[in-house]
C-alpha cells in the first residue's frame, strides 16, 4: 500500500543535542510538509517542499532545518533542541499545493531531556 513512513516513531534527545527525523513516501507526491503539533494544539506548518523548491514559514525558528534529497525522502533537522521543542512532528504529502488533500505519516514523538 502507498503510504507515508516516519522514523523513528519515538525519539528522546538531550537538551542541545542535534536530532534528525526522517520521512519517506511511496505516493509519488510532489509536495512534502513538516508540521509540529503540541498537546491540544493545531498542527503548525514548519516547512514544505514543492519538488525541490523549499518554502520556510516565516515564524519557523532557525533551529529547524529541512532537506529533501529526492522525491521520496525528506528530513527534519533540529540543530539544538530545547525543552520547548518537545512535540509530535508530522510529515505529510500531497499531489500539489493548496487545494490538494494532505496525507499524514504516523508522526515522531520527540522528547527533550
Partner 1 sequence: QKEVEQNSGPLSVPEGAIASLNCTYSDRGSQSFFWYRQYSGKSPELIMSIYSNGDKEDGRFTAQLNKASQYVSLLIRDSQPSDSATYLCAVESNFGNEKLTFGTGTRLTIIP
| 21, 32, 90, 112: residue in contact with partner 1 (rule CB under 8 A) | 90
Note the Cα 40 to chain centre separation in Å: 18
Rank residues 48 and 68 by Cβ distance to partner 1 and give the closer one. Answer: 48
Give CA–CA dist 15/25, Å, rounded: 30
Chosen residue from 42, 59, 70, 83 binding partner 1 by CB under 8 A: 42
Nearer CB in complex with partner 1: 79/103: 103
Q: Are 66 and 73 in contact (CB under 8 A)?
A: no
User: If you count them, how many residues does the chain have?
Assistant: 113
Question: Rounded to the nearest whole angstrom, what is the least distance from the CB of residue 40 to partner 1 in the complex?
Answer: 7
Nearer to partner 1, 4 or 19 (CB): 4
What's the CA gap between 111 and 90, in Å, rounded? Answer: 14
- Residues whose CB falls within 8 Å of the CB of residue 61, separated by 6 or more in sequence, listed in order: none
Shortest distance, position 41 Cβ to partner 1, whole Å: 6
The count of chain residues that interact with partner 1, using the rule CB under 8 A, is 19
Amino acid at each position: 500500500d502507498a503510504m507515508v513512513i516516519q522514523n523513528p516513531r519515538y525519539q528522546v534527545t538531550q537538551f542541545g543535542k542535534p536530532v534528525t527525523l526522517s520521512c519517506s513516501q511511496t505516493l509519488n507526491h510532489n509536495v512534502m510538509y513538516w508540521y509540529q503539533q503540541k498537546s491540544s494544539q493545531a498542527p503548525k506548518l514548519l516547512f514544505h517542499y514543492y519538488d525541490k523548491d523549499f518554502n520556510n514559514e516565516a515564524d519557523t525558528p532557525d533551529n529547524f532545518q529541512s532537506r529533501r534529497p529526492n522525491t521520496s525522502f525528506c528530513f527534519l533537522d533540529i540543530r539544538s533542541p530545547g525543552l520547548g521543542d518537545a512535540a509530535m512532528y508530522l510529515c505529510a504529502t500531497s499531489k500539489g499545493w493548496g487545494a490538494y488533500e494532505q496525507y499524514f505519516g504516523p508522526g515522531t514523538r520527540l522528547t527533550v531531556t
